[in-house]
Amino acid sequence: MTTTILHAKLKEHFGFEQFRNNQEDIINTVLSGKDAVAIMPTGGGKSICFQLPALVLTGVTIVVSPLIALMKDQVDSLKSNGIAACFINSTQSAQEQQLYMDALRNGSIKLVYIAPESLSYLEQAFDSLQISLIAIDEAHCISAWGHDFRPAYTNLGYLKKRFPTTSILALTATADKATRSDIVQQLNLNNPKIVVASFDRKNLSLEVRPALDRVKQIIAFIERKPEESGIIYCLSRKTTEELAQKLQQKGIKAKAYHAGLDARLRAQTQDDFINDDCPIVCATIAFGMGIDKSNVRWVIHYNLPKNIEGYYQEIGRAGRDGLPSETLLFESYADVIQLQKFASEGLNSEVQLAKLERMRQYADALSCRRKILLSYFGELVTENCGNCDICKNPPVFFDGTILAQKALSAITRLQQNEPLSMIIDFLRGSKNAAIYEKSYQDLKTYGIGHDTSWYDWNQYLIQLINHGYCEIAFHQNNRILLTPLAQKVLFEGERVMLTAVVKKVPSTIDKTEYAASKTSAKSGLFEVLRKLRYTIAKEEEVPAYIIFSDATLRHMEIIRPMSESEFLTIEGVGKAKLEKYGGEFIDAITEYQKNKPVRAKKEGSTYKETLALLNNNVSVEEIAKQRKLNVSTVMSHIAKLYADDHLTDVSFFVSADEINQIKEAQKVLEVPSGLKPYFDYFEEKMPYSTIRMGIAVIEKEK
């Protein structure tokens, strides 16, 4: 099939202009009759790889999928694009099943979803159906090596024997090699083409913070974006409930979800989340698989995950639509201790402990986090990502020898008998009962670290542990022990380099960002479109994101289509959606333009072009290349787009810290005209583009 025809189909049925990486390759492989294994990250765009071929091929495409909820979602989403599809499972009546079976036979439905347990329902029809393609979704479920092993998957090997000439496409987001070869073997795939997409999800920002005052930090985080949808993953069921309650007390719409809750309540919570009625869910990892909601804007890990695979899958649930989305992980030593205990008591403990250790190293990283993640999945990247906390605030090293000496000698004085918190209290000369009970106030070195805050000591001690000067005795009440390396610092004059603590406590974080988002969050066309989408979704009883994704609404907000032909140029608008929803959305946009004469002024198309690319997740460098512009010109577009409310978030380009620095500069420079004075003030260390963006944010705050 020629590229042009495939592209035309992609636009007609799904409304997309371009394939994402590897989609076309996979589609061509299965269309040529070969088997394939597609390994793509969550949100990478696997569905189209079998949905598009299903439309092109003459016969029926069977999609094996593990979860009934997910099938329904996919079928709804296909229907909204005008594509006939069905699923067959044990909850349906024989009559309903017969109806679908007939539709498959007479060719009016070409795509059928089925759970592996239910394949026998199709058996009776196999002889009378032409099966053109078999897609096995979540194919890692076949492997006991994977993390979601499902025994029913192991029977799927018979499909190849039953249909030796039909292409089988196995899809998964689990990249590890053992699982991959298990999939190929157990499905009896015939010399399959293995396509591994990049696991990089550039639109997800990565951040790790120490777990102090978590609840406060989370509230501050949510208050910056009260309308947005997010998931907070917690380790225990109890935490999910407690946290949800605390958030509710602050007037935040949040619910708890875990496997111990009543099934009906769980289903209700999931529905409310999917339908945008309850934007926030505090959940154990039981939540999320089988949810395709594309407009999850952020994911927080309240506790450290067990391993990087799980972590990546969970944060992958944010930003499936490709729009910028935030992820935040809280790291605490208490979690590490607890997880170590679980891992060492569980099956396969050595492997589990090693995986946990990698997770911990990620959280403690001092270099670009995305590089670490991607290298875990076997991808080597040379460039720093610019969208993780380390890239945004690179660690500053200083000579911390004296601090180290103080801490290590305190541990010695306390006979290596005390946990972290007591050591800090001792260093700070705290006058609490625990200290007095043991008469620690009488020991030498009590209080020698009084001029360093509790928060900072906590960070420094963790760094000392990470450097190997001391360690936690997990099985002995977590007391801190010295290692032989400590002797070198205490007695042989070894110097210790520490990294300065970056303050990210709620009082100081992102105030500017908060203010900026508050002013732009609720106003604007996007909100109008979102409300319309919500209303239609309620009428049709489907999730809002199935009507249109956030990315599509954003694109409408920029292009402001007021005719059918303009509407069809929007990303995510195909023929069916134009016919179904075009009228209402065009009316809403026209109405909005009439009532907001200020906004009706058309932006120069050059800004629009930049914005359209940005919304397609194209990097600034790439935009500059494609549009043959300077990077600085593109950055000036972004500043303008932000100033004019077309972009609501530029934190990717300028950090809260930089904004504060610029404000400081403004005081000194008395708000000069032009950017050069700032550039000089910062000794040429802050790029013009950052300064420009910072000023745009400050202006808007006013």
Shortest Å, Cβ 52 to ligand ADP = 9
> Which among 180-188, 315-323, 360-368, 456-464 is the span making contact with Zn ion, rule CB under 5 A?
360-368
Task: Confirm or reject binding of residue 43 to ligand ADP (CB under 6 A).
Answer: yes
User: 3-class SS at 481?
Assistant: strand
Q: How far apart are CA 515 and CA 224, in angstroms?
A: 8
Q: Looking at 214, 266, 301, 320, which residue binds ligand ADP (CB under 6 A)?
A: 320
Q: Quick check: 48 binds ligand ADP (CB under 6 A)? A: yes
Residue 211 has phi, psi (to 5 degrees) of: -85, 55
How far apart are the C-alpha atoms of 77 and 101, rounded to whole Å?
A: 21
Which of 22, 27, 30, 46 is the binder for ligand ADP (CB under 6 A)? 46
**CB 230, CB 296: distance < 8 Å:** yes
Q: 226-240 in b/e burial notation, b at 16+ Cβ within 10 A?
A: eebbbbbbbbebebb
How far is Cα 110 from Cα 131, in angstroms, rounded to an integer?
9
- Is position 16 an interface residue for ligand ADP (rule: CB under 6 A)? yes
Of 319 and 449, the one with the shorter C-beta distance to ligand ADP is: 319
3-class DSSP state of 158: helix
Which listed range, 224-232, 341-349, 364-372, 678-686, lies at the site for Zn ion (CB under 5 A)? 364-372
Which helix (H) or strand (E) segment holds residue 192: the answer is none
Residue 47 phi/psi, 5-degree rounding, is -55, -45
Residue 233 backbone phi and psi in degrees, to 5: -85, 130
Q: According to the binding rule CB under 6 A, does residue 20 interact with ligand ADP? A: yes
Q: Which of 73, 207, 309, 321 binds ligand ADP (CB under 6 A)?
A: 321
Footprint of ligand ADP on 571-630 (CB under 6 A): none
Which of these segments, 46-54, 100-108, 300-308, 399-407, binds ligand ADP (CB under 6 A)? 46-54
| CA 142/CA 357 separation, integer angstroms | 27
* Of 6, 11, 19, 615, the one binding ligand ADP by CB under 6 A: 19
Phi, psi of 479 (to 5 degrees): -70, 155
Stretch that binds ligand ADP, among 19-27, 142-150, 246-254, 460-468 (CB under 6 A): 19-27
391 binds, among ligand ADP, Zn ion, none (CB under 5 to 8 A by kind): Zn ion
Q: Which stretch binds Zn ion (CB under 5 A): 96-104, 279-287, 362-370, 549-557?
A: 362-370
Least Å distance between CB 45 and ligand ADP?
3
Strands 204-210 and 229-233: unpaired
Q: How far is CA 300 from CA 178, 283, 340, 528, in A?
A: 30, 10, 21, 28
Residue selected from 254, 372, 388, 422 as contacting Zn ion according to rule CB under 5 A: 388
3-state SS, one letter per residue, for 100-156: HHHHHHCCCCCEEEECHHHHHHHHHHHCCCCEEEEEECCHHHHCCCCCCCCHHHHHH
Strands (E), 396-530: 397-399, 470-473, 479-482, 497-499
Q: Which stretch in 17-25, 155-163, 395-403, 553-561 sits in contact with ligand ADP by CB under 6 A?
A: 17-25
Q: Please count the residues of this chain forming the interface with ligand ADP, following the rule CB under 6 A.
A: 18
Nearest to 37 by CA among 152, 186, 155: 186
Q: Which does 561 bind (CB under 5 to 8 A by kind): Zn ion, ligand ADP, none?
A: none
CA distances from 317 to 299, 399, 412 (A): 8, 41, 46
Q: Which does 385 bind (CB under 5 to 8 A by kind): Zn ion, ligand ADP, none?
A: Zn ion
Cβ proximity to ligand ADP: between 239 and 549 the closer is: 549
Using CB under 6 A as the binding rule, the residues of this chain from 258 to 317 that contact ligand ADP are 292, 294
Rounded to the nearest whole angstrom, what is the least distance from the CB of residue 196 to ligand ADP in the complex?
A: 13
Between residues 297 and 392, which has the closer beta carbon with respect to Zn ion?
A: 392
> Which of 385, 408, 410, 461: binder of Zn ion (CB under 5 A)?
385
Q: Does residue 368 bind Zn ion (CB under 5 A)?
A: yes
Nearer to ligand ADP, 229 or 549 (CB): 549
From the list 38-46, 57-65, 258-266, 495-503, the region that binds ligand ADP by CB under 6 A is 38-46
Residue 622's identity, in one-letter code, is E
User: How far apart are CB 51 and ligand ADP at their closest, in Å?
Assistant: 8
Kindly list the distances between the CA atom of residue 270 and the CA atoms of 218, 239, 259, 261, 445, in Å, as whole numbers in the listed order.
Answer: 21, 18, 12, 12, 54
Q: Which stretch in 126-134, 222-230, 386-394, 607-615 sits in contact with Zn ion by CB under 5 A?
A: 386-394
Give the shortest CB-605-to-ligand ADP separation in angstroms.
22
Q: Tokens for 628?
A: 């043959």
Q: Among the residues of 468-524, which ranges form H helices? A: 484-491, 511-521
Which tokens is 629 given? 């512009």
Residues in 501-560 that interact with ligand ADP by CB under 6 A: 549
Q: Which is nearer to ligand ADP, 306 or 320 (CB)?
A: 320
Q: How far is the CB of 418 from ligand ADP (least distance, A)?
A: 47
Tell whether residue 391 is a contact of Zn ion (CB under 5 A). Answer: yes
Distance CA 438, CA 414 (A): 10
Shortest separation between residue 321's beta carbon and ligand ADP, angstroms:
5
Contacts of 411 (CB under 8 A, 6+ apart): 418, 423, 470, 480, 481, 482, 486
User: Residue 140 or 370: which CB sits closer to Zn ion?
Assistant: 370
Give residues in contact with Zn ion (CB under 5 A).
Answer: 368, 370, 384-385, 388, 391
Give residues in contact with ligand ADP (CB under 6 A).
Answer: 16, 18-20, 23, 40, 42-48, 292, 294, 320-321, 549
